[in-house]
Amino acid sequence: MEKKFGKELLILSAFLMIASLLVFSGCGGKDVNLKGALITVSSWWQTYDTESYEARSESEGRELEWKIKAEKDHGFKLVVEQVSDWDNYLPIIVNNIMSGNKKYSYYQVSSEMALVLYKQGLLYPVSDSKVVNLKNQEIIPFEKWSYNALVDEYMTFNGKTYGWSYGLPNNGWGQAMLFFNPKFLADAGIDVEYLYNLQRDNQWTWEAFLDVCRKLTRDLNNDGITDIYAIHIDDAREFLSGLIFGNGGDFITLDASGKAQNAANSPNVIEAINFFNQLINEGLVQTSQYYDWGSNWTAFVDQRVAMTFDPEWRKGQMNENFDAGYVLPPRGPRSSTIRLGVMDGCNVIPAFFSPEEVDIILKGAEIWNAPVDADWLQGHYWASRNIRDVTETTAMSRDARYLVPRYDVTIPGYPFGDFVAEIRGEGLGVAVPSRVLESFMPSFMAAIDDFNR
């Protein structure tokens, strides 16, 4: 009996080993020959070629070395080309795909662009390929990133996934950050660590933010004219979205069936707009007569204001001689914790590629984009001046406990920018939230209804 059992156990073990190999082969284990392949990536914001790229930091240097080695070892080449600016990018993508132009293997796109392309039937269902595991959540240095679960969620339809991205959720550097000038804090008697400490201790509230703004707004020569404002407000998109989501608000929610629902007229949103008005009416905000995109950041870098709400990617534009820090937007009274509304862009492959070509694209891209270190924070130190910007602010901004999906940016035509402009048009500091919301409700609902069809 013992010998028979031992023989059966051996056969069973062999069977299980074969089965596990088959399962592995179906979940990212399939071999792909990359020799001679050229993978060209389309982008609206970056270029990258291992033959010409100059690393800006030690961590980027290690990444460059890995990419060079990966291309050499596997015999392929991957380059990223900036095809156009933001405004012209989507029409170019549509034209390329509709005409069958195979120059670009995959496209880096925003979430809205991705959904437009999907609805037009222009995207390949990348989950059909089994050479990579789009559900992988483990970071393996020199092998593969985890795949972004947020992207996987919003780009999956009827069981098939049409886009992907690498790394943790909120890895696009696009959400609102509050940048501050430590010198102005010190001049106003505020310890440079104060904002970080408030954030760490969950005490970074609107009340604390208001107190900081009042101290930072200063008349230096007592002539009755404000010389330094707490913050500049021209493009208010990051400012208002930071306050709204930080107060537990949303523009769009999804029901259990995945249908979009309007949430813009909630008390959370109205309260955030009223707080925005309060900051202006107290004289804490520098305003300009005419809208000028980018003037918030210009005023901050020129040191006319102490703080600015701007996208995270602005940290990569800080002058080497300009010492600035950043924290997350403060939380409002309707939220028990800091809360960020985020949505990542993704990568998409045109529908006309063959399964074999898609396998090469996905496998080559995964190898080329593999991290050189499990510590993903390494990619942020070069753009920061204080270690707490990275170890605390950036770390929190990728922590699921503080993140909520920002569905409004995935709905083509949702007029968030126009809505913010109308608040300005009504008059800075005097716009009545309920009135502006009511006037925009038909536009909101038109976009939502179109999305739900």
Tens of pLDDT, residue by residue over 345-360, are 999 999 999 999 999 9
What pLDDT was estimated at residue 16? 35
Q: What is the mean pLDDT of the chain?
A: 89
Centroid of chain to Cα 283: 32
pLDDT tens digits, one per residue of 167-198 = 888 987 888 899 999 999 999 999 989 999 99
What pLDDT was estimated at residue 29? 54
Q: Tell whether the model's pLDDT for residue 24 goes beyond 50.
A: no
What pLDDT was estimated at residue 12? 37
189 and 143 in a single domain? The answer is no
265 and 191 in a single domain? The answer is yes
151 and 275 in a single domain? The answer is no
Rounded to an integer, the average pLDDT of 387-403 is: 93
Q: Tell whether the model's pLDDT for residue 23 goes beyond 70.
A: no
270 and 318 in a single domain? The answer is yes
User: Buried (b) or exposed (e) across 26-60, using 16+ Cβ within 10 A?
Assistant: eebeeebebeebebebbbbeeebebeebeeeeebb
Q: Is residue 3 part of a domain?
A: no
What pLDDT was estimated at residue 256? 65
Task: Say how many C-beta atoms besides its own lie within 10 A of residue 262's C-beta.
Answer: 17
Q: Is residue 14 part of a domain?
A: no
Report d(CA 410, CA 307) in Å as an integer: 29
Which domain CATH number covers 77? Answer: 3.40.190.10
Rounded to an integer, the average pLDDT of 324-338 is: 97
What pLDDT was estimated at residue 50? 98
Rounded to an integer, the average pLDDT of 213-225 is: 94
141 and 225 in a single domain? The answer is no
Rounded to an integer, the average pLDDT of 131-147 is: 91
Report d(CA 30, CA 33) in Å as an integer: 10
What pLDDT was estimated at residue 290? 65
**pLDDT over 90 percentage in the chain:** 67
214 pLDDT band, cuts 50/70/90, is very high
Q: Tell whether the model's pLDDT for residue 404 goes beyond 80.
A: yes
Q: Is residue 424 part of a domain?
A: yes
163 and 297 in a single domain? The answer is no
What pLDDT was estimated at residue 2? 36
47 and 101 in a single domain? The answer is yes
What pLDDT was estimated at residue 289? 66
Q: Tell whether the model's pLDDT for residue 72 goes beyond 60.
A: yes
Least confident range from 210-214, 241-245, 315-319, 386-390: namely 315-319
Q: Tell whether the model's pLDDT for residue 28 goes beyond 50.
A: no
205 and 317 in a single domain? The answer is yes
Closest of 74, 76, 46 to residue 143, by C-alpha = 74
When divided into structural domains, the chain yields a total of 2
Q: Is residue 267 part of a domain?
A: yes
**Domain that includes residue 218, residue range:** 176-342+383-452
pLDDT tens digits, one per residue of 275-329 = 999 999 999 999 876 667 788 898 999 899 999 999 999 998 887 667 899 999 9
